[in-house]
């Protein structure tokens, strides 16, 4: 049986939470801030929780998280 490996791209983008979920960074946070409102930038600062529909796929990609 081969080694079980985590998907390296997923491990850089998602962090496991204490109750079995995952959190990730908000989108649109790399450049082009002059055209975005202050409220939009402020709300994007907070992380997001991964939706229930996507949890199974992320758990498969990150078996040790």
In a domain, 3, yes or no: no
Please tell me the number of Cα atoms within 13 Å of 62 on its side-chain side: 20
In a domain, 1, yes or no: no
Residue 32 φ then ψ, to 5°: 75, 35
3-class secondary structure, 53:
helix
The total domain count for the chain is 1
Closest C-alpha to 58, from 15, 2, 1: 15
3-class secondary structure, 57:
helix
pTM of the model: 0.83
CATH number of the domain residue 56 falls in = 4.10.410.60
Closest C-alpha to 28, from 48, 51, 54: 48
The pLDDT tens digits of the residues spanning 10-34 come to 999 999 999 999 999 999 999 999 9
The pLDDT tens digits of the residues spanning 43-52 come to 999 999 999 9
């Amino acid at each position: 049986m081969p080694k079980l490996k985590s998907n390296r791209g997923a491990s850089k983008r998602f962090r496991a939470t204490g109750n079995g979920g995952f959190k990730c960074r908000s989108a649109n946070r790399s450049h082009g801030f002059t055209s975005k409102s202050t409220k939009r930038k402020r709300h994007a600062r907070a992380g997001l929780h991964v939706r229930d529909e996507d949890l199974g796929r992320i758990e498969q990609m990150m078996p040790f998280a």
